Amino acid sequence: MIKILIVDSDNTILSLAKRVLSDKYEVVSASDDDEAIDVFDREDPDMLLADFMMSGMNGIELRAELQRRSGRAIPTLFMTSDTTAEPSNDEFINKPFEPQELLEKVETVFNNGDVAEKFSKACASGNGALMLVKLVSREAPEKSVVDGFENALKKALMPDDMMLKTDTIYKLFVYDMVSDSSAEEFIEKLDDQVSEISDGKVGCCAGVVFAPEHGTDLAELSEFADKCLKDIEAQKHTGCLVFSPFDHQPVSNAGTTDLQMLSQMFEEHSMVDSAFVIETEAFSYVYRFLLRYIQSYSSSAYKLLVTLSPLSDGFDEEPITEVTDAFGDMVAHSLRKSDIMVRTNDNQYLIILPEITETDTERLVKRLLRKWNTLEKSRFAEVTYEAEAIIAEKHQREHRRNVRATDEDA
């Protein structure tokens, strides 16, 4: 049976809550935060029902402490006498409450808590977009419009993706959505659909963050997405706003904490054993930095432009794209972590190989082509490449060289 810890200094409220819930749940209780911690350690309850404003810790602080002690998320419902706490919020219930209302709120919070745990795991170990989506209209949208929007959302999501509705906000985790353009396209389609359903009266907007790019903690990512959602709401716009760390940094004195935070923000959260594959938008900055580094420290590198061409006129654009995908995956997992790859066309990759000689570059290319020729998809495309040294300017006349070859050299 699910066990609920009830915390309130008001004996009347405490007794009422225990009486209402005890028929369906196992109930334990405490009258203040210190007692609540003792009872929690002893009873290990599944859920917390707590007064929001207590004499010691408030409800949020108590939940944070219990979650810290247990190392897990704890579904929580806060009881409050503050009418500004928005009773429609699933995390709050106004005192005094009706028995049926309390039962319904507890069930909703506990069920959502299970989903929240899945969201937390997705942010911690998944790769995708966390979105907060909201309908935009001058008046409350009609139920038929809301139902139509929710159906459109469900159809847009893949089976592994997640959705949780809290009040008027839809929280989504969309796996493998990792670029601004893909998020914008996703929300634009939803906006078009709800606009059509409502005859142009309702649209939708969203705040978007990416895991692990912007972090891996659900609470922190939710806060970032919420800021973006509020920003786009304030502008009375539809569409989506993707989080940028530079748009939300307060003015502060630099210190160890700031440096650690920025390091964690920009570092690679999960370094895979392959080349560094980046988008074309980011590549220009990386390439410019590499040129500066080479000039400043008399270093060197090689760049390869690899092109795959269909071997048969019968292949259209889609198959050669798939063949190029397979080739790129093979190459990325064959290169060093310090090597850089960017896809410049449907059938082309640009590869940067830092700190490598001409002889080693030629040897590497032959090894890659040999490995590629063992794969089934290699029979569909011819591989050609151009190679050029990137060296310090003062050495360019002696060392710069262009190379062109095919997989026949392997």
Same domain, 207 and 95: no
Give the C-alpha separation, 406 to 383, whole Å: 6
DSSP H helices in 44-161? 59-70, 99-125, 143-156
% of the chain exceeding 70 in pLDDT: 84
Pairing of strands 300-310, 348-354: antiparallel
For every residue of 133-192, DSSP letters joined together read EEEE-SSPPPHHHHHHHHHHHHHHS-TT-EEEEETTEEEEEEET--SHHHHHHHHHHHHH
Short-list 129, 131, 130, CA closest to 205: 131
Last residue of a domain, one of 209, 229, 247: 247
Same domain, 310 and 398: yes
- Encoding tokens for residue 379? 């029979």
Q: Which helix (H) or strand (E) holds 266?
A: helix 256-266
Kindly state whether residue 261 falls inside one of the protein's structural domains: no
pLDDT tens digits for range 171-224:
999 998 888 888 999 999 999 999 999 999 999 999 999 998 888 888 889 889
Q: How confident is the model at residue 88 (pLDDT cuts 50, 70, 90)?
A: very low
Model confidence at 118: pLDDT above 90: no
Same domain, 207 and 294: no
Kindly state whether residue 120 falls inside one of the protein's structural domains: no
Same domain, 144 and 219: yes
Last residue of a domain, one of 58, 83, 114: 114
Kindly state whether residue 264 falls inside one of the protein's structural domains: no
Q: How confident is the model at residue 398 (pLDDT cuts 50, 70, 90)?
A: very low
Q: State mean pLDDT over 321-331.
A: 91
What pLDDT does residue 18 have?
94
Question: What Cα–Cα distance (Å) separates residue 223 from each residue in 142, 184, 208, 248, 342?
Answer: 29, 20, 10, 11, 32
* Orientation of helix 218-234 relative to helix 99-125, angle to 10°: 100
Same domain, 44 and 166: no
Same domain, 54 and 134: no
Cis peptide before 159 (omega within 30 of 0): no
Kindly state whether residue 266 falls inside one of the protein's structural domains: no
Domain count, the chain: 3
DSSP H helices in 333-377? 358-373
Same domain, 100 and 165: no
Same domain, 50 and 153: no
What pLDDT does residue 407 have?
45
Same domain, 131 and 229: yes
Q: How confident is the model at residue 298 (pLDDT cuts 50, 70, 90)?
A: confident
Question: What Cα–Cα distance (Å) separates residue 253 from each residue in 48, 250, 261, 266?
Answer: 38, 10, 13, 19
CATH number of the domain within which 43 lies: 3.40.50.2300
Same domain, 101 and 7: yes
Same domain, 287 and 355: yes
- Which residue segment(s) compose the domain that 182 sits in? 126-247
Evaluate whether 366 touches 403 at the Cβ level (below 8 Å): no
Kindly state whether residue 255 falls inside one of the protein's structural domains: no
Give the C-alpha separation, 219 to 3, whole Å: 25
Kindly state whether residue 243 falls inside one of the protein's structural domains: yes
- What is the C-alpha radius of gyration for the chain, rounded to an integer number of angstroms? 28
Pairing of strands 276-278, 340-345: parallel
Kindly state whether residue 104 falls inside one of the protein's structural domains: yes
Quote the mean pLDDT of the chain.
83
Whole-model pTM: value is 0.45
Q: State mean pLDDT over 227-242.
A: 87
Q: State mean pLDDT over 90-112.
A: 85
Same domain, 403 and 282: yes
Kindly state whether residue 296 falls inside one of the protein's structural domains: yes
